[in-house]
Amino acid sequence: RYQAQSATLELADDTAPDLAVLVGELTEVRTVDAQAGRLDNVRRSLRMPRLTLDEPLIDRPAETITYHEALALAQADGSKQVTDAAQRMVDRTLLLGRRILGHVNERAASSVACLLLMLMGSLLAILNRGQLPLVVYFWSFLAAIAVVVVINVGQRSTGTEGSWLIGGLTMLWSGNAALVAVVFLLYERVARH
């Protein structure tokens, strides 16, 4: 008798649908003599090349069963664990999609913010040409910190479960909208002078 910590089974031959041929691998295997009740040896792994099952694994091939049909079959069999696992998988997939959307928008907003901050710094340098450069650096730095914080807060709220997706994306891009307004105001002042 074999006792193992874990095992993996792979389908080796699926040409005959009524007879499945599996390849198995056991890890951390203990071989026990069932009649004597003693441990014979311990192996790190044991490969079992051809395992056959007397009965078919499924009635229909998996390719022909849709996701909703599989859930209906699981519910008909009374398998609450399967339906709960399927729902968790759907929820996690949706959350992953939200996180990806948040990260993509964060990177896009950061690149747009870099361009806008350069424009703002240039306009500030023109307006404050008689003063020290530290004045321009100071105001540009404050604007950059504010925009980075707003973008990060928007990205986190976009990728959080249960939060409002449109609200998070709006917050994420609101820092750039504020920078566009500041750049237009500074441009108007420069154009007047």
pLDDT along the chain (193 residues), means of 10: 80 66 82 71 79 60 66 68 77 90 94 95 91 89 95 90 86 94 94 83
If you ran DSSP here, which 8-state letter would residue 79 be given? Answer: -
At residue 55, the pLDDT reads 58
Beta-sheet strand order (sheet of 38-52): 2-13, 21-33, 38-52
Q: How many CB atoms lie within 10 A of CB 120?
A: 23
Is the pTM higher than 0.85? The answer reads no
Task: Check residue 62 and give its pLDDT.
Answer: 55
The tally of CA atoms less than 13 A away on the side-chain side of residue 183 is 17
pLDDT of residue 186: 94
Measure the CA–CA gap between 61 and 56, rounded to whole angstroms. 11
Give the rounded distance of the alpha carbon of 115 from its chain centre.
29
